[in-house]
Structure 1
Amino acid sequence: MNFLINYFRKLLLLLALSIVFTAYANDKKSQQILTSSEVEKVDLFQLSKNFYDAVKNDSSAEKYIQQLEKIAKNNLEKELTNDTKKKAFWLNIYNTYIQYLLKKNPDLYQDRSAFFKDERFTIAGEKMSLDDVEHGMIRDSRVKLSYGHLKDPFASKFEKKFRVSEVDWRIHFALNCGAKSCPPVTFYKVESLDTQLEKSAKAYLKREVKFNKNKVYVPRLMNWFRADFGGKDGVIKILKSYELIPKNSDPGVEFLDYNWELDLENYS
Protein backbone atom coordinates (compact mmCIF):
# COMPACT_ATOMS: atom_id res chain seq x y z
CA MET A 1 0.00 0.00 0.00
CA ASN A 2 2.82 2.40 0.96
CA PHE A 3 4.49 1.53 -2.32
CA LEU A 4 1.42 2.66 -4.31
CA ILE A 5 1.11 5.89 -2.31
CA ASN A 6 4.76 6.76 -2.93
CA TYR A 7 4.38 5.87 -6.59
CA PHE A 8 1.41 8.20 -7.08
CA ARG A 9 3.16 10.96 -5.16
CA LYS A 10 6.15 10.74 -7.51
CA LEU A 11 3.81 10.64 -10.51
CA LEU A 12 1.98 13.78 -9.37
CA LEU A 13 5.29 15.53 -8.71
CA LEU A 14 6.55 14.70 -12.19
CA LEU A 15 3.26 15.86 -13.69
CA ALA A 16 3.47 19.17 -11.79
CA LEU A 17 7.08 19.70 -12.86
CA SER A 18 6.10 18.95 -16.45
CA ILE A 19 3.34 21.56 -16.35
CA VAL A 20 5.67 24.18 -14.85
CA PHE A 21 8.42 23.45 -17.37
CA THR A 22 5.98 23.63 -20.31
CA ALA A 23 4.61 26.97 -19.10
CA TYR A 24 8.15 28.32 -18.64
CA ALA A 25 9.21 27.12 -22.10
CA ASN A 26 6.16 28.72 -23.72
CA ASP A 27 6.85 31.97 -21.89
CA LYS A 28 10.48 31.97 -23.08
CA LYS A 29 9.33 31.22 -26.60
CA SER A 30 6.91 34.13 -26.42
CA GLN A 31 9.69 36.43 -25.22
CA GLN A 32 11.97 35.25 -28.01
CA ILE A 33 9.30 36.01 -30.59
CA LEU A 34 8.82 39.50 -29.11
CA THR A 35 12.56 40.13 -29.09
CA SER A 36 12.88 38.95 -32.68
CA SER A 37 10.10 41.31 -33.71
CA GLU A 38 11.62 44.24 -31.84
CA VAL A 39 15.06 43.96 -33.40
CA GLU A 40 13.67 43.67 -36.92
CA LYS A 41 15.34 46.23 -39.18
CA VAL A 42 13.17 49.32 -39.66
CA ASP A 43 13.88 52.39 -41.78
CA LEU A 44 13.52 54.99 -39.04
CA PHE A 45 13.16 57.97 -41.35
CA GLN A 46 10.64 56.30 -43.63
CA LEU A 47 8.66 55.30 -40.55
CA SER A 48 8.60 58.90 -39.31
CA LYS A 49 7.52 60.04 -42.81
CA ASN A 50 4.69 57.48 -42.84
CA PHE A 51 3.57 58.72 -39.42
CA TYR A 52 3.72 62.36 -40.58
CA ASP A 53 1.77 61.66 -43.78
CA ALA A 54 -0.91 59.67 -41.96
CA VAL A 55 -1.52 62.46 -39.44
CA LYS A 56 -1.41 65.20 -42.08
CA ASN A 57 -3.91 63.34 -44.28
CA ASP A 58 -6.15 62.32 -41.36
CA SER A 59 -5.49 58.64 -42.01
CA SER A 60 -5.01 55.99 -39.34
CA ALA A 61 -1.62 56.44 -37.67
CA GLU A 62 -1.91 53.64 -35.11
CA LYS A 63 0.26 51.21 -37.08
CA TYR A 64 3.15 53.69 -37.16
CA ILE A 65 2.69 54.65 -33.52
CA GLN A 66 3.00 50.99 -32.53
CA GLN A 67 6.11 50.57 -34.68
CA LEU A 68 7.71 53.60 -33.03
CA GLU A 69 6.85 52.18 -29.62
CA LYS A 70 8.41 48.78 -30.33
CA ILE A 71 11.38 49.72 -32.47
CA ALA A 72 14.59 48.42 -30.92
CA LYS A 73 17.02 50.85 -29.34
CA ASN A 74 19.85 49.38 -31.39
CA ASN A 75 17.87 50.41 -34.48
CA LEU A 76 17.94 54.01 -33.24
CA GLU A 77 21.63 53.67 -32.48
CA LYS A 78 22.41 52.48 -36.01
CA GLU A 79 20.45 55.27 -37.70
CA LEU A 80 20.80 58.30 -35.42
CA THR A 81 24.55 58.54 -35.91
CA ASN A 82 24.99 62.33 -36.06
CA ASP A 83 23.30 65.60 -35.12
CA THR A 84 21.73 66.08 -38.55
CA LYS A 85 19.92 62.76 -38.35
CA LYS A 86 18.94 63.31 -34.71
CA LYS A 87 17.55 66.78 -35.41
CA ALA A 88 15.53 65.62 -38.41
CA PHE A 89 14.08 62.61 -36.59
CA TRP A 90 13.15 64.36 -33.36
CA LEU A 91 11.80 67.48 -35.11
CA ASN A 92 9.43 65.32 -37.12
CA ILE A 93 8.41 63.26 -34.09
CA TYR A 94 7.64 66.42 -32.11
CA ASN A 95 5.69 68.21 -34.83
CA THR A 96 3.72 65.13 -35.83
CA TYR A 97 2.76 64.20 -32.29
CA ILE A 98 1.61 67.79 -31.61
CA GLN A 99 -0.80 67.53 -34.54
CA TYR A 100 -1.87 63.97 -33.68
CA LEU A 101 -2.56 64.62 -29.99
CA LEU A 102 -4.35 67.94 -30.42
CA LYS A 103 -6.49 66.86 -33.36
CA LYS A 104 -7.54 63.87 -31.30
CA ASN A 105 -8.26 65.97 -28.18
CA PRO A 106 -7.99 69.79 -28.55
CA ASP A 107 -8.97 70.19 -24.88
CA LEU A 108 -5.46 69.09 -23.92
CA TYR A 109 -4.31 72.58 -24.88
CA GLN A 110 -6.31 74.16 -22.06
CA ASP A 111 -3.55 73.14 -19.64
CA ARG A 112 -0.48 73.72 -21.78
CA SER A 113 1.98 73.07 -18.97
CA ALA A 114 0.61 69.55 -18.44
CA PHE A 115 0.25 69.00 -22.17
CA PHE A 116 3.97 69.49 -22.77
CA LYS A 117 5.44 67.96 -19.62
CA ASP A 118 3.30 64.80 -19.20
CA GLU A 119 4.42 61.55 -20.85
CA ARG A 120 2.16 61.05 -23.88
CA PHE A 121 3.89 58.58 -26.21
CA THR A 122 6.57 55.91 -26.41
CA ILE A 123 9.66 55.69 -28.60
CA ALA A 124 11.72 52.48 -28.54
CA GLY A 125 10.14 51.42 -25.27
CA GLU A 126 10.80 54.78 -23.58
CA LYS A 127 7.83 56.83 -22.40
CA MET A 128 8.33 60.46 -23.40
CA SER A 129 6.81 63.91 -23.11
CA LEU A 130 6.92 66.67 -25.70
CA ASP A 131 9.28 68.54 -23.37
CA ASP A 132 11.58 65.50 -23.36
CA VAL A 133 11.85 65.73 -27.14
CA GLU A 134 12.22 69.50 -27.44
CA HIS A 135 14.47 70.32 -24.49
CA GLY A 136 16.11 66.93 -24.04
CA MET A 137 16.71 65.52 -27.50
CA ILE A 138 16.72 68.62 -29.70
CA ARG A 139 18.23 71.15 -27.25
CA ASP A 140 20.92 68.90 -25.76
CA SER A 141 19.19 68.47 -22.35
CA ARG A 142 18.67 72.16 -21.60
CA VAL A 143 16.57 72.95 -18.52
CA LYS A 144 13.27 74.33 -19.83
CA LEU A 145 13.02 77.47 -17.68
CA SER A 146 16.70 78.41 -17.66
CA TYR A 147 16.63 80.48 -20.90
CA GLY A 148 19.01 77.89 -22.32
CA HIS A 149 21.79 78.57 -19.80
CA LEU A 150 21.59 75.32 -17.78
CA LYS A 151 22.08 71.74 -18.86
CA ASP A 152 20.13 69.03 -17.04
CA PRO A 153 22.59 66.94 -14.98
CA PHE A 154 19.92 64.27 -14.41
CA ALA A 155 19.19 63.44 -18.04
CA SER A 156 18.38 59.76 -18.61
CA LYS A 157 20.76 57.34 -20.31
CA PHE A 158 18.33 57.18 -23.23
CA GLU A 159 18.35 60.95 -23.58
CA LYS A 160 22.13 61.19 -23.37
CA LYS A 161 22.50 58.53 -26.04
CA PHE A 162 20.09 59.97 -28.61
CA ARG A 163 20.19 63.74 -28.04
CA VAL A 164 22.07 66.20 -30.23
CA SER A 165 25.51 67.31 -29.11
CA GLU A 166 25.09 71.00 -29.98
CA VAL A 167 22.11 73.38 -29.89
CA ASP A 168 21.07 74.75 -33.29
CA TRP A 169 19.04 77.96 -32.72
CA ARG A 170 17.21 77.47 -36.02
CA ILE A 171 15.18 74.61 -34.56
CA HIS A 172 13.04 77.20 -32.75
CA PHE A 173 11.68 78.26 -36.12
CA ALA A 174 11.01 74.64 -37.12
CA LEU A 175 9.18 73.38 -34.01
CA ASN A 176 5.41 73.82 -34.11
CA CYS A 177 3.75 73.63 -30.67
CA GLY A 178 0.22 74.12 -31.99
CA ALA A 179 -0.01 77.87 -31.34
CA LYS A 180 -0.86 80.60 -33.85
CA SER A 181 2.56 82.20 -33.41
CA CYS A 182 4.36 78.96 -34.31
CA PRO A 183 6.14 78.42 -37.63
CA PRO A 184 4.36 76.14 -40.11
CA VAL A 185 4.85 72.38 -39.99
CA THR A 186 7.26 70.87 -42.50
CA PHE A 187 8.67 67.37 -42.85
CA TYR A 188 12.43 67.68 -42.38
CA LYS A 189 14.69 65.46 -44.47
CA VAL A 190 18.19 64.41 -43.48
CA GLU A 191 19.66 65.15 -46.90
CA SER A 192 18.30 68.72 -47.03
CA LEU A 193 17.99 69.60 -43.34
CA ASP A 194 20.40 72.54 -43.32
CA THR A 195 18.71 74.15 -46.33
CA GLN A 196 15.26 73.60 -44.84
CA LEU A 197 16.22 75.04 -41.45
CA GLU A 198 17.72 78.11 -43.13
CA LYS A 199 14.56 78.59 -45.15
CA SER A 200 12.29 78.15 -42.12
CA ALA A 201 14.30 80.52 -39.93
CA LYS A 202 14.58 83.22 -42.57
CA ALA A 203 10.89 83.04 -43.51
CA TYR A 204 9.71 83.17 -39.90
CA LEU A 205 11.97 86.05 -38.92
CA LYS A 206 11.15 87.99 -42.07
CA ARG A 207 7.46 87.64 -41.21
CA GLU A 208 7.79 88.56 -37.53
CA VAL A 209 10.67 91.03 -37.14
CA LYS A 210 9.91 94.75 -37.17
CA PHE A 211 12.67 97.37 -37.27
CA ASN A 212 12.10 101.02 -36.33
CA LYS A 213 15.25 103.17 -36.22
CA ASN A 214 16.61 102.51 -32.72
CA LYS A 215 14.51 99.46 -31.88
CA VAL A 216 13.94 96.03 -33.35
CA TYR A 217 10.97 93.89 -32.36
CA VAL A 218 11.67 90.16 -32.46
CA PRO A 219 9.77 86.93 -31.64
CA ARG A 220 9.42 86.15 -27.93
CA LEU A 221 11.07 82.79 -28.68
CA MET A 222 14.33 84.70 -28.81
CA ASN A 223 13.81 85.74 -25.20
CA TRP A 224 12.60 82.38 -23.83
CA PHE A 225 15.66 80.64 -25.31
CA ARG A 226 18.07 83.57 -25.27
CA ALA A 227 21.21 81.52 -24.60
CA ASP A 228 20.45 79.34 -27.65
CA PHE A 229 20.68 82.52 -29.74
CA GLY A 230 23.79 83.86 -28.01
CA GLY A 231 22.00 86.60 -26.06
CA LYS A 232 21.32 90.07 -27.46
CA ASP A 233 24.56 90.13 -29.45
CA GLY A 234 23.66 86.83 -31.04
CA VAL A 235 20.15 88.03 -31.93
CA ILE A 236 21.56 91.17 -33.59
CA LYS A 237 24.09 89.08 -35.51
CA ILE A 238 21.35 86.75 -36.79
CA LEU A 239 19.15 89.66 -37.89
CA LYS A 240 22.04 91.26 -39.77
CA SER A 241 22.93 87.98 -41.47
CA TYR A 242 19.39 87.81 -42.86
CA GLU A 243 19.48 91.52 -43.78
CA LEU A 244 16.54 92.29 -41.50
CA ILE A 245 18.34 95.26 -39.94
CA PRO A 246 21.14 97.50 -41.33
CA LYS A 247 24.67 96.17 -40.96
CA ASN A 248 25.85 99.27 -39.07
CA SER A 249 22.89 99.44 -36.65
CA ASP A 250 22.84 98.61 -32.94
CA PRO A 251 19.17 98.83 -31.96
CA GLY A 252 17.54 98.01 -28.66
CA VAL A 253 15.73 94.68 -28.68
CA GLU A 254 12.04 94.32 -27.75
CA PHE A 255 10.15 91.03 -27.65
CA LEU A 256 6.78 90.61 -29.30
CA ASP A 257 3.80 88.96 -27.60
CA TYR A 258 3.22 85.29 -28.38
CA ASN A 259 -0.22 84.25 -29.64
CA TRP A 260 -1.11 80.96 -27.93
CA GLU A 261 -4.41 80.52 -29.77
CA LEU A 262 -4.68 76.93 -30.99
CA ASP A 263 -3.91 76.69 -34.70
CA LEU A 264 -3.74 73.18 -36.18
CA GLU A 265 -3.18 72.06 -39.78
CA ASN A 266 -0.65 74.87 -40.29
CA TYR A 267 1.45 73.03 -42.86
CA SER A 268 3.88 74.82 -45.15
Structure 2
Amino acid sequence: MFKTPLKALLLGSALVVTSFATSFSAQAQNMHDSWNALLNKHVVAINHNHSTEVNYAAIKREHAQLKTYLDSLTAVTQSEFDAWEKPKQLAFLINAYNAWTVELILTKYPDIKSIKDLGSFFSSPWSKEFVPLLGKTRSLDDIEHGLIRGSGKYNDPRIHFAVNCASIGCPALREEAYTATDLESQLQEQTVRFLSDMTRNMAQENTLSVSSIFKWYGDDFEKGFRGTNTLQQFFLQYSDALKLIPAQQKALKNDDMKVKFLDYNWDLNVRH
Protein backbone atom coordinates (compact mmCIF):
# COMPACT_ATOMS: atom_id res chain seq x y z
CA MET A 1 0.00 0.00 0.00
CA PHE A 2 3.06 2.24 0.11
CA LYS A 3 3.95 1.91 -3.57
CA THR A 4 2.10 4.92 -4.94
CA PRO A 5 3.22 7.43 -2.27
CA LEU A 6 6.80 6.17 -2.57
CA LYS A 7 6.75 6.61 -6.33
CA ALA A 8 5.38 10.09 -5.93
CA LEU A 9 8.04 10.90 -3.37
CA LEU A 10 10.84 9.62 -5.58
CA LEU A 11 9.45 11.46 -8.59
CA GLY A 12 9.22 14.66 -6.61
CA SER A 13 12.77 14.26 -5.36
CA ALA A 14 14.02 13.65 -8.89
CA LEU A 15 12.29 16.79 -10.11
CA VAL A 16 13.86 18.84 -7.33
CA VAL A 17 17.33 17.47 -8.09
CA THR A 18 16.86 18.04 -11.82
CA SER A 19 15.60 21.56 -11.23
CA PHE A 20 18.54 22.33 -8.95
CA ALA A 21 21.04 20.90 -11.43
CA THR A 22 19.50 22.88 -14.29
CA SER A 23 19.52 26.06 -12.21
CA PHE A 24 23.13 25.49 -11.16
CA SER A 25 24.15 24.80 -14.76
CA ALA A 26 22.44 27.95 -15.99
CA GLN A 27 24.04 29.97 -13.21
CA ALA A 28 27.48 28.64 -14.12
CA GLN A 29 26.88 29.27 -17.80
CA ASN A 30 25.87 32.88 -17.14
CA MET A 31 28.68 33.58 -14.67
CA HIS A 32 30.72 35.61 -17.15
CA ASP A 33 27.83 37.36 -18.93
CA SER A 34 28.40 40.78 -17.37
CA TRP A 35 32.12 40.65 -18.16
CA ASN A 36 31.26 39.53 -21.68
CA ALA A 37 28.97 42.55 -22.08
CA LEU A 38 31.69 44.97 -20.98
CA LEU A 39 34.19 43.43 -23.38
CA ASN A 40 31.70 43.51 -26.26
CA LYS A 41 31.06 47.21 -25.72
CA HIS A 42 34.47 48.57 -24.82
CA VAL A 43 37.17 46.45 -26.49
CA VAL A 44 37.80 47.30 -30.14
CA ALA A 45 39.82 45.37 -32.73
CA ILE A 46 42.61 47.25 -34.52
CA ASN A 47 45.57 46.44 -36.77
CA HIS A 48 43.56 44.20 -39.10
CA ASN A 49 42.08 42.37 -36.09
CA HIS A 50 45.49 41.35 -34.71
CA SER A 51 45.24 43.62 -31.67
CA THR A 52 42.64 45.36 -29.53
CA GLU A 53 42.33 48.64 -27.68
CA VAL A 54 40.38 49.12 -24.46
CA ASN A 55 38.13 52.07 -23.69
CA TYR A 56 39.08 52.31 -20.03
CA ALA A 57 37.20 55.60 -19.63
CA ALA A 58 33.94 53.94 -20.66
CA ILE A 59 34.52 50.94 -18.40
CA LYS A 60 35.26 53.32 -15.54
CA ARG A 61 31.84 54.89 -16.09
CA GLU A 62 30.37 51.39 -15.73
CA HIS A 63 32.61 50.45 -12.82
CA ALA A 64 29.69 49.15 -10.79
CA GLN A 65 29.08 46.43 -13.38
CA LEU A 66 32.73 45.40 -13.28
CA LYS A 67 32.72 45.35 -9.48
CA THR A 68 29.61 43.18 -9.42
CA TYR A 69 31.30 40.72 -11.76
CA LEU A 70 34.46 40.64 -9.65
CA ASP A 71 32.35 40.04 -6.55
CA SER A 72 30.72 37.07 -8.28
CA LEU A 73 34.16 35.57 -8.94
CA THR A 74 35.16 36.11 -5.33
CA ALA A 75 32.02 34.27 -4.21
CA VAL A 76 33.21 31.03 -5.85
CA THR A 77 34.67 28.71 -3.21
CA GLN A 78 37.69 26.47 -3.64
CA SER A 79 35.50 23.36 -3.31
CA GLU A 80 33.14 24.62 -6.02
CA PHE A 81 36.08 25.38 -8.29
CA ASP A 82 37.65 21.96 -7.68
CA ALA A 83 34.41 20.25 -8.75
CA TRP A 84 34.45 21.91 -12.18
CA GLU A 85 35.86 20.37 -15.35
CA LYS A 86 39.25 21.73 -16.45
CA PRO A 87 37.95 23.92 -19.33
CA LYS A 88 35.57 25.66 -16.94
CA GLN A 89 38.34 26.17 -14.40
CA LEU A 90 40.73 27.58 -16.97
CA ALA A 91 38.13 29.92 -18.51
CA PHE A 92 37.35 31.17 -15.00
CA LEU A 93 41.01 31.87 -14.21
CA ILE A 94 41.71 33.62 -17.51
CA ASN A 95 38.65 35.83 -17.13
CA ALA A 96 39.60 36.57 -13.52
CA TYR A 97 43.13 37.58 -14.52
CA ASN A 98 41.92 39.86 -17.30
CA ALA A 99 39.09 41.45 -15.33
CA TRP A 100 41.26 42.19 -12.31
CA THR A 101 43.94 43.61 -14.59
CA VAL A 102 41.37 46.08 -15.89
CA GLU A 103 40.35 46.81 -12.30
CA LEU A 104 44.00 47.52 -11.44
CA ILE A 105 44.34 49.92 -14.36
CA LEU A 106 41.20 51.78 -13.28
CA THR A 107 42.68 52.53 -9.85
CA LYS A 108 44.91 55.18 -11.46
CA TYR A 109 43.46 55.74 -14.92
CA PRO A 110 43.73 58.17 -16.71
CA ASP A 111 46.92 59.15 -14.89
CA ILE A 112 49.04 56.27 -16.18
CA LYS A 113 50.73 55.47 -19.47
CA SER A 114 51.66 51.88 -18.67
CA ILE A 115 50.68 49.16 -16.23
CA LYS A 116 54.26 49.37 -15.02
CA ASP A 117 53.44 52.80 -13.57
CA LEU A 118 51.43 50.93 -10.92
CA GLY A 119 54.50 49.20 -9.57
CA SER A 120 57.36 50.55 -7.50
CA PHE A 121 61.13 50.25 -7.32
CA PHE A 122 60.71 47.28 -4.99
CA SER A 123 57.71 45.47 -6.50
CA SER A 124 55.86 45.02 -9.76
CA PRO A 125 52.13 45.60 -10.32
CA TRP A 126 51.79 41.86 -10.88
CA SER A 127 52.95 41.10 -7.34
CA LYS A 128 50.34 43.33 -5.67
CA GLU A 129 48.03 41.21 -3.51
CA PHE A 130 44.62 42.73 -4.17
CA VAL A 131 42.60 39.89 -5.71
CA PRO A 132 40.21 38.04 -3.36
CA LEU A 133 39.93 34.71 -5.16
CA LEU A 134 39.30 31.13 -4.05
CA GLY A 135 39.55 31.94 -0.38
CA LYS A 136 42.80 33.94 -0.46
CA THR A 137 44.00 37.41 -1.34
CA ARG A 138 46.16 36.91 -4.39
CA SER A 139 48.23 38.79 -6.93
CA LEU A 140 48.00 38.62 -10.70
CA ASP A 141 51.24 36.63 -10.59
CA ASP A 142 49.54 34.15 -8.26
CA ILE A 143 46.76 33.62 -10.79
CA GLU A 144 48.96 33.25 -13.86
CA HIS A 145 52.06 31.55 -12.48
CA GLY A 146 50.48 29.73 -9.55
CA LEU A 147 46.91 28.73 -10.36
CA ILE A 148 47.29 28.45 -14.15
CA ARG A 149 50.90 27.64 -15.03
CA GLY A 150 52.07 26.31 -11.69
CA SER A 151 49.21 23.93 -11.02
CA GLY A 152 50.37 21.44 -13.66
CA LYS A 153 46.73 20.73 -14.53
CA TYR A 154 46.34 22.56 -17.79
CA ASN A 155 49.65 22.38 -19.72
CA ASP A 156 48.42 24.67 -22.47
CA PRO A 157 50.93 27.31 -23.58
CA ARG A 158 48.20 29.08 -25.54
CA ILE A 159 47.12 30.72 -22.30
CA HIS A 160 49.88 33.24 -23.00
CA PHE A 161 47.75 34.55 -25.86
CA ALA A 162 44.67 34.82 -23.65
CA VAL A 163 45.82 36.49 -20.42
CA ASN A 164 46.25 40.20 -21.07
CA CYS A 165 48.71 42.56 -19.38
CA ALA A 166 47.02 45.77 -20.57
CA SER A 167 49.92 46.56 -22.90
CA ILE A 168 50.35 47.10 -26.62
CA GLY A 169 52.93 44.33 -26.80
CA CYS A 170 50.56 41.84 -25.20
CA PRO A 171 48.28 39.53 -27.20
CA ALA A 172 44.84 41.05 -27.69
CA LEU A 173 42.34 41.31 -24.88
CA ARG A 174 39.59 39.24 -26.44
CA GLU A 175 36.32 41.05 -27.16
CA GLU A 176 34.35 38.36 -25.34
CA ALA A 177 34.62 36.34 -22.16
CA TYR A 178 36.20 32.89 -22.20
CA THR A 179 33.78 30.03 -21.62
CA ALA A 180 34.17 26.32 -20.97
CA THR A 181 32.18 25.47 -24.09
CA ASP A 182 34.21 27.63 -26.47
CA LEU A 183 37.59 27.64 -24.74
CA GLU A 184 39.39 25.40 -27.25
CA SER A 185 38.36 27.46 -30.28
CA GLN A 186 38.97 30.72 -28.40
CA LEU A 187 42.53 29.75 -27.45
CA GLN A 188 43.23 28.58 -30.98
CA GLU A 189 41.89 31.81 -32.48
CA GLN A 190 43.92 33.92 -30.06
CA THR A 191 47.10 32.02 -30.94
CA VAL A 192 46.63 32.44 -34.68
CA ARG A 193 45.59 36.05 -34.19
CA PHE A 194 48.81 36.87 -32.35
CA LEU A 195 51.24 34.83 -34.42
CA SER A 196 49.91 36.26 -37.68
CA ASP A 197 50.61 39.82 -36.49
CA MET A 198 53.70 40.73 -38.48
CA THR A 199 54.47 43.67 -36.20
CA ARG A 200 55.20 41.21 -33.39
CA ASN A 201 56.07 37.93 -35.13
CA MET A 202 57.72 37.92 -38.53
CA ALA A 203 59.96 35.70 -40.65
CA GLN A 204 62.54 37.34 -42.88
CA GLU A 205 64.89 35.13 -44.86
CA ASN A 206 66.65 32.96 -42.25
CA THR A 207 65.51 34.82 -39.15
CA LEU A 208 62.25 34.43 -37.24
CA SER A 209 61.62 37.51 -35.09
CA VAL A 210 59.06 36.81 -32.38
CA SER A 211 57.59 38.35 -29.26
CA SER A 212 59.59 38.29 -26.03
CA ILE A 213 56.77 36.17 -24.62
CA PHE A 214 58.56 33.21 -26.18
CA LYS A 215 61.78 34.14 -24.37
CA TRP A 216 60.15 34.63 -20.98
CA TYR A 217 57.95 31.53 -21.15
CA GLY A 218 59.82 29.36 -23.63
CA ASP A 219 59.72 26.35 -21.30
CA ASP A 220 55.92 26.30 -21.46
CA PHE A 221 56.12 25.58 -25.18
CA GLU A 222 58.46 22.63 -24.63
CA LYS A 223 56.33 20.47 -22.34
CA GLY A 224 54.77 18.20 -24.93
CA PHE A 225 51.64 20.18 -25.78
CA ARG A 226 50.23 18.35 -28.82
CA GLY A 227 53.57 16.68 -29.35
CA THR A 228 55.67 19.86 -29.33
CA ASN A 229 58.83 19.59 -27.26
CA THR A 230 60.69 22.60 -28.62
CA LEU A 231 59.79 26.17 -29.45
CA GLN A 232 60.59 25.45 -33.08
CA GLN A 233 58.11 22.58 -33.16
CA PHE A 234 55.43 24.85 -31.75
CA PHE A 235 56.12 27.46 -34.43
CA LEU A 236 55.94 24.78 -37.13
CA GLN A 237 52.39 23.94 -36.03
CA TYR A 238 51.50 27.52 -36.93
CA SER A 239 53.49 27.85 -40.15
CA ASP A 240 50.52 29.37 -41.96
CA ALA A 241 49.97 32.04 -39.32
CA LEU A 242 53.67 32.91 -39.36
CA LYS A 243 53.67 32.85 -43.17
CA LEU A 244 56.65 30.50 -43.32
CA ILE A 245 57.62 29.39 -46.80
CA PRO A 246 58.73 25.74 -47.28
CA ALA A 247 62.44 26.61 -47.11
CA GLN A 248 61.91 28.43 -43.80
CA GLN A 249 59.88 25.54 -42.42
CA LYS A 250 62.70 23.16 -43.30
CA ALA A 251 65.31 25.43 -41.72
CA LEU A 252 63.21 25.77 -38.57
CA LYS A 253 62.71 22.01 -38.37
CA ASN A 254 66.48 21.45 -38.66
CA ASP A 255 67.21 24.19 -36.11
CA ASP A 256 68.96 26.18 -38.83
CA MET A 257 66.77 29.26 -38.51
CA LYS A 258 67.74 32.03 -36.11
CA VAL A 259 65.05 32.96 -33.58
CA LYS A 260 65.22 36.59 -32.47
CA PHE A 261 63.17 38.09 -29.64
CA LEU A 262 61.69 41.53 -30.18
CA ASP A 263 61.45 44.34 -27.64
CA TYR A 264 58.15 44.47 -25.77
CA ASN A 265 55.90 47.53 -25.88
CA TRP A 266 54.58 48.21 -22.38
CA ASP A 267 52.49 51.24 -23.36
CA LEU A 268 48.87 51.02 -22.22
CA ASN A 269 46.50 49.39 -24.71
CA VAL A 270 44.10 52.30 -24.39
CA ARG A 271 41.57 53.52 -26.93
CA HIS A 272 41.54 57.32 -27.00
Match for residue 195 of structure 1 among 185, 189, 198: 185
Amino acid at match of 2:134: A
Higher normalized contact order (CA 8 Å, seq sep 6+, divided by chain length) = 2
What RMSD over aligned residues (CA atoms) do the two structures have, in Å? Answer: 2.7
Distance 1:237 1:123 in 2: 36
Distance 2:202 2:74 in 1: 43
Maintained 8 Å contact 1:176/1:182: yes
Maintained 8 Å contact 2:90/2:148: yes
Distance 1:70 1:228 in 2: 31
* 1:103 partnered with 2:79: no
**1:248 match:** 250
Structure 1 residues 67 and 119, CA, compared in 2 at 3 Å: closer, same or farther? Answer: same
98-107 or 121-130, larger mean C-alpha shift: 98-107
Question: How far 1:85 moved relative to its partner?
Answer: 1.7
SS where residue 184 of structure 1 aligns? coil
Q: Where does 1:154-233 land on structure 2 (aligned, <5 Å)?
A: 163=151, 165-186=153-174, 187-207=177-197, 208-230=200-222
**1:48 match:** 32
**2:52 match:** none
**1:157 match:** none
Q: Show structure 1 runs of 4+ deviating over 6 A.
A: none
Distance 1:229 1:126 in 2: 29
Q: Where does 1:1-268 land on structure 2 (aligned, <5 Å)?
A: 43-54=27-38, 56=42, 58=59, 59=62, 60=64, 61-78=66-83, 80-82=84-86, 84-106=87-109, 107=112, 109-112=116-119, 113-139=123-149, 141=150, 163=151, 165-186=153-174, 187-207=177-197, 208-230=200-222, 234-243=230-239, 244=242, 245=244, 246=246, 247-250=249-252, 251-264=257-270
**2:6 match:** none
Distance 1:62 1:195 in 2: 28
Query: How many correspondences in the alignment?
Result: 203
Deviation track 1:166-208 (CA, whole Å, cap 9, x = no partner) reads 3211111111101111111122121111111111111101102
Deviation track 1:193-225 (CA, whole Å, cap 9, x = no partner) reads 111111111110110221122211011000000
SS where residue 191 of structure 1 aligns? coil
Maintained 8 Å contact 1:178/1:263: yes
Using the size of structure 2 for normalisation, the TM-score is 0.66
Maintained 8 Å contact 2:70/2:99: no
Structure 1: state its 5+ residue gaps.
1-39, 142-162
Structure 2: state its 5+ residue gaps.
1-22, 43-57
SS where residue 101 of structure 1 aligns? helix
Maintained 8 Å contact 2:211/2:262: yes
Amino acid at match of 1:200: Q
43-52 or 180-189, larger mean C-alpha shift: 43-52
Distance 2:260 2:106 in 1: 34
% identical equivalent positions: 26
Using the size of structure 1 for normalisation, the TM-score is 0.67
Distance 2:103 2:270 in 1: 10
Question: How far 1:124 moved relative to its partner?
Answer: 3.5
